[in-house]
Amino acid sequence: MSKIRIAVLCSGGGTNLQAILEAQAAGKIPHGEVVLVIADSKEAYSLERAKTFGVETAVFDKREFSRAEREREMLACLKAHRAELVVLAGFLTVLSPSFVEAYKNRILNIHPALLPSFGGEGMYGLHVHEAVLSRGVKVTGATVHIVTEECDNGPILAQRAVRVRKDDTPRSLQQRVMREAEWKIYYRAIEAYCKTLQK
């Protein structure tokens, strides 16, 4: 049976992309294969990570396309590469309902908190960890979910908890959530979902 063709959308450094590609190289995603990495910035370091692993890349820079144009070009690119699953890895643009509909139940995202807490509009990157610390919660973590039209509100596929320390800063918490949760659960959730899509 052929592997599910995966496209990863990134905006920045691509640490989750790196974890996914390393897992794939180690044979831990036997039912899927990353065939394309799309970035919305020419400076995204994720493009370099993709090239290191021999994965094709495409860039649709936010500064050069309107949102509608960018999504149209991205969808054409996904179609050209026969992508069957879209994985968001630090992709900082909220996708339009029409884009989500085009890949209904075939877009996954990882969020750096235990949804439904600390999700929704404006909750990304360090903002999430700042909010966690300001509320004084004792446990945070990461969540893998299916993307729907409503931001951070799709069905949850996987979660892992991370304890908040008294001396945490937003940056130290972010790093630990990535190390202890995000990099461990995302590739596993992707593999499990690819297996489901093959049935």
Residue range 76-92, pLDDT digits in tens: 999 999 999 999 999 98
The CA distance from 59 to 73, in Å, is 10
> Is 111 one of the catalytic residues?
yes
Inform me whether the pLDDT recorded for 199 exceeds 80: no
Q: Which amino acid is at 57?
A: T
**Residues 132, 127: Cα–Cα separation, whole Å:** 9
pLDDT of residue 135: 97
Tell me: pLDDT of 21 over 80.
Answer: yes
Sign of the Cα torsion 131, 135, 141, 144 reads negative
Q: What is the pLDDT of residue 23?
A: 98
Q: Is 82 left (phi over 0), alpha (psi -120 to 50) or beta?
A: left
Q: Are the C-beta atoms of residues 199 and 123 closer than 8 Å to each other?
A: no
Record the tokens describing residue 159, joined without a space.
């979660």
Choosing from 81, 111, 129, 145, the catalytic residue is: 111
- Three-state DSSP state, 9: strand
- pLDDT of 150-179, one tens digit each? 999 999 999 999 999 999 999 999 999 999
Please give the domain boundaries of the chain with CATH numbers for all domains: 4-198 (3.40.50.170)
Q: Which pLDDT belongs to residue 165?
A: 97
Percentage of the chain exceeding pLDDT 90 = 93
pTM of the model: 0.96
Mean pLDDT of the chain: 96
Q: Give 31-81 as a DSSP string.
A: TEEEEEEEESSTT-THHHHHHHTT-EEEE--TTTS-HHHHHHHHHHHHHHT
| pLDDT at position 61 over 90 | yes
What is the average pLDDT across 53-62? 96
Measuring CA to CA, which residue among 93, 96, 135, 141 is closest to residue 116? Answer: 141
Q: Which DSSP letter does residue 180 get? A: I
Predicted confidence band of residue 121 (pLDDT cuts 50, 70, 90): confident
Q: How many CB atoms lie within 10 A of CB 13?
A: 15
CA distances from 133 to 109, 168, 174 (A): 23, 8, 11
| Position 193 pLDDT exceeds 90 | yes
Judged by phi (left if over 0) then psi (alpha if -120 to 50, else beta), residue 118 lies in left
Are the C-beta atoms of residues 53 and 36 closer than 8 Å to each other? no
